[in-house]
Chains A and B, each alone.
Chain A
Amino acid sequence: MLTYTIRRLLIAIPTLLFISLVIFLILEMAPGDPLADQPLTVPPEVREKMRAALGLDQPAWVRYLLWLKQFFWTEPLHLVDSLFGTAFADPTGRIVSWQFRAPAMDIIWQRLPQTLWVVGLAYVVGVVIAVPIGIISAYRQYSWFDNLGTFVSMVGFSVPTFFTGVVLIIVFAVNLHWFPSIYDTTLKVTDWESFLKQARQMVMPVTVLALFNASQISRFMRASMLDNLQQDYVRTARAKGMSEKVVVLRHVLRNSLIPVVTVIALGIPTIFGGAIITEQVFKVNGLGQLLITAIYANDLPMVQTLTFIFAALTVLFNLIADVLYGVLDPRIRYD
């Protein structure tokens, strides 16, 4: 297992380099000029200087290598510096967002908590409600509970989050005034009062996303349980006189969780992608929104960095899912 993990990590390096190159080339080919926002009255020579200041006078391959150096060398060093108070990194060599005129990573760190709180919490809530629902639905297949669950998850899965989001806003924020319609990112939780306020503004976005996540995961859980409930070993467990609780929650569940855990792990990188649409709808100032605004502003370093981080997380969690599979299923031996 260890050698397998190490081998996979080593293979991930060329994969990630390739991904970063592809992202770079796509952004390079994309139309759009980072100086498009500048007034037309700016004289051409000044414009050239501005381009040079952004490094745009360099050939593409130089800019790509520069980004690589910044991302894989300067930024990690900077992270070390900020953690241990050292001074290894060259402060001028960091990836700078054109739009914010500040280091891209600093902005990302700033936005990360919003995304983690809203999207991450929604994921956790989704998983926590999906697993028991999936178990009960499968065990009581075609009962009213199962039918209701099937209906709700069909709705939750097929109705887009921007729609459910807007519906919730209209009903609960505009009409009932239960929750604020706009997420206040500047809110700091300092006391009970502000905590309640934070909780209240999180309710709707978390609900929308949790419903979506739970719909998907509960279906997986149900299908996996149904698969396993048919298996011969279940009959063996019953023939041994085990109680239904043990049969279902020990024998069947332990097997059913294997694929579900994998699916859950594979879904985690999408948290960081920050449910772009939901963040837009509720005006949550997270990573998803950061990416969107960066794209609008032609902020190439930011887009490149964010996209690459999402890609790296996807690769990482793929690996984690595979390793988990091996840990959970004794039949899988990687070495």
Chain B
Amino acid sequence: MEFKFAIEGGNFSKAGSASSEVKKILKQLNVNPKIIKRTVVSLYEAEVNVVAHAFEGCMNVDIDTDKIIVKIEDKGPGIPDIDQAMQEGYSTATPQVREMGFGAGMGLPNIKRNSDQMNITSKVDVGTEVEIINYFG
């Protein structure tokens, strides 16, 4: 099964809505609640990163019998140094975004902890793709 959800850069009032749709689908499919929880955390963080750091993007969801594969792609500034971005506490978020409680630099580490596989590819001034794979078994 494949689904696609748009993500608007800069629109914090809608942040999390794509993740919420995927959660509903996984619940309907009776996926193990523990795996739904992990998936929701990682998808939310990837979605918020598009909202906070990029211009626009989308969440492409592919649900198989044994796993969920999600690709979150965006058009945006890209990530110049992925190893640095993965470090807990590293953030380039603006002061306004931090004031809202975003920008703690814990998003990518949260994805890492809550996914079975995580792949990031990024091109500066073009965009970023984060792939998240979680197995149901």
Question: Are A and B genuine complex partners?
Answer: no
Residues in A lying within 8 Å of B, measured CB to CB? none
